[in-house]
Structure 1
Amino acid sequence: MTTTMGAALHLAHADQPAPGERHRTKGKGGGGETFADFARQVYSDQRATPLAREMLLAFGYATMVAHSEADRDVKAVWSTARQAMGTTRTGRHWRLDEAIADDAPRYTNGKDRAHRACEAPRLRPHPDGPDDYRNMRGICGTLADWENYALEKQPGTGWYKYHWFCKRHLDHLARVREQLREPNERAPQPVPNRGGLLPVYFESDWLATYRHRLDSPTWEPPAYGISADDWPTPGVEQIPPRARLRLAALDGTLLVEADRGALR
């Protein structure tokens, strides 16, 4: 029997019989979708990194193609997905497990070294000419030390913006930090912008799975939700919910065995 995107496939734990399929009423996946349709959705999802796409396709292949209804169980599905992605270069860990950890919902903002230009006002034109970025922006432009920044949280999203200052302009840094202190306290928790794609495409106990893969039993998802479909982005239309395949989490014993090198 072919699994469709419109039918939520329930995969019981290994020690439980698998119940029959049930249909979701939420979302637009009205049934009849194939693995090719699923793959098109994954590849068109601009939120997915290359690693996330590979992970989603591995799970999709395991639940929609590799296992028939008769032989489909949680051990088989997870084993197939892991084998599809293979191990790391050292061969000590499954790449699927690392991909799940990387999919944990969070907000990220890298402090790019290339953008650490001091923002203090430029008092004299730089000799490199009027087209030099320091003259065009009217800033000092000296490369700032890693710790010399003022953090500004955006009022709508809570996302971070960094203002850099070099050692000669630490007085500017102190003033900007003080100016931003109260607005930062009023800013919301940052809207996540990374991960959260497994809950978009599959139903499972992802909270427990993320906690296990992060080795953090107290980890909590962002206040905006565990699924990337639930995260608002100002100016961007929210993606409507889609039908998801139901995927049971693999029990902790087998995950621990895999961590210890019992890769199978």
Structure 2
Amino acid sequence: MGALHLAHTTQPPAADQNRTKGKGGGGAQTFADFARQVYGDQRATPLARELLLAFGFATMVAHSEHQQDAPAVWTTARRAMGTTGTGREWRLDQAIAEDAPRYATGKDRAERACSAPRLRPHPDGPDDFRNRLGICGATADWEHHAVEKQAGTGWYKYHWFCKRHLDHLARVREQLAEPNSRAPEPIPNRGGLLPVYFESDWLSAYRHRVGERWQPPIYGLSADDWPVPGAEPVAPRPRLRLAAVDGTLLTETSGASW
């Protein structure tokens, strides 16, 4: 999978309307090749795929015959995605905010089974999950959980307890306090795809749309740079260069006016 770079205005024009070269003179690829890469990326949500394809179209097709003008590229991508249902915001801005690198805990309301030890067999029989797992199994309230941070990844594991077993919850929280304090910052598991495919000032782009309180992960902005337990690191790949837009353009693009 090659990565794209939204070209600076100083970049030379592409050889033809449907081809572009990767950073450092990498092999040429067509927009169809790029689309196959995007659709084959299992990390991409439907909204992320639409965002990547919009920038790919703007860079590789709509503005590939001449030196790329940053406002024109961003305007083309923005209009390709259109506005939100209210018509007041650009969907491109929404998608960039959604691509901001982060760790999503995956706390699932459907998995709130109390994990306190079962003292007596449940009458539903030996195949019942409460008997197989040896747990209470009653549905816990949303706030009655303890977080266990994994030593290698910092990812969260939730332990749930029902109202009858709040004493167990208190003990588990106390037991986890010290090891949790030594756990690393969670490895991101959401977003970070724009830096995989395009080179630009994504730090500013994310912060402008998410807010100043958002902080980049220590593992980097690109999802390719994040360690994945049990997987080999991703080899460096060429990206298309996407010129960063200045603060004025960022402000202008936040309103959905044509």
Q: Give the TM-score normalised by structure 1.
A: 0.89
Query: In structure 2, do the counterparts of structure 1 residues 20 and 169 end up closer, same or farther at CA, with 3 Å as the change threshold?
Result: same
Alignment of 1:55-66 (within 5 A): 55-66=51-62
Deviations 1:162-214 (A, max 9, x none): 00001110111111111111111111110000000100100001111111011
- Deviation of the 1:148 alpha carbon: 0.8
Partner of 1:15: none
Query: In structure 2, do the counterparts of structure 1 residues 104 and 9 end up closer, same or farther at CA, with 3 Å as the change threshold?
Result: closer
1:251 is the counterpart of 2:246: yes
Which of 79, 96, 99 is matched with 1:100 structurally? Answer: 96
Partner of 1:147: 143
CA distance in 1 between partners of 2:113 and 2:255 (Å): 45
Q: Which amino acid aligns with 1:166?
A: C
Which of 31, 34, 46 is matched with 1:35 structurally? Answer: 31
Question: Partner of 1:168: helix, strand, or coil?
Answer: helix
| Structure 1 range deviating more: 79-88 or 191-200 | 79-88
- Deviation of the 1:8 alpha carbon: 5.3
Partner of 2:46: 50
- Output the aligned Cα RMSD: 2.0
Q: Show structure 1 runs of 4+ deviating over 6 A.
A: none
Question: Partner of 1:151: helix, strand, or coil?
Answer: strand
CA distance in 1 between partners of 2:249 and 2:95 (Å): 17
| Structure 1 range deviating more: 83-92 or 54-63 | 83-92
The answer as to whether partners of 1:104 and 1:195 remain within 8 angstroms in 2 is: yes
- Deviation of the 1:251 alpha carbon: 2.3
Query: In structure 2, do the counterparts of structure 1 residues 158 and 9 end up closer, same or farther at CA, with 3 Å as the change threshold?
Result: closer
Gap runs ≥5 in structure 1: 13-17
Query: In structure 2, do the counterparts of structure 1 residues 23 and 194 end up closer, same or farther at CA, with 3 Å as the change threshold?
Result: closer
1:20 is the counterpart of 2:16: no
Partner of 2:226: 231
- Deviation of the 1:71 alpha carbon: 6.1
- Deviation of the 1:143 alpha carbon: 0.7
- Deviation of the 1:88 alpha carbon: 0.9
The answer as to whether partners of 1:152 and 1:161 remain within 8 angstroms in 2 is: yes
Question: Partner of 1:123: helix, strand, or coil?
Answer: coil
Deviations 1:192-251 (A, max 9, x none): 0000010010000111111101132x5321001111010001112222221100101222
Which of 133, 142, 145 is matched with 1:137 structurally? Answer: 133
CA distance in 1 between partners of 2:144 and 2:117 (Å): 16
CA distance in 2 between partners of 1:236 and 1:58 (Å): 30
CA distance in 2 between partners of 1:96 and 1:212 (Å): 13
Which of 201, 209, 213 is matched with 1:213 structurally? Answer: 209
Partner of 2:112: 116
Q: How many residues in Structure 1 have an aligned counterpart in Structure 2?
A: 250
CA distance in 2 between partners of 1:176 and 1:123 (Å): 18
The answer as to whether partners of 2:101 and 2:191 remain within 8 angstroms in 1 is: yes
CA distance in 2 between partners of 1:7 and 1:128 (Å): 56
Q: Which amino acid aligns with 2:12?
A: G
CA distance in 1 between partners of 2:187 and 2:76 (Å): 34
Question: Partner of 1:209: helix, strand, or coil?
Answer: helix
Deviations 1:56-106 (A, max 9, x none): 011001000111342631111111111111111111111111000000001
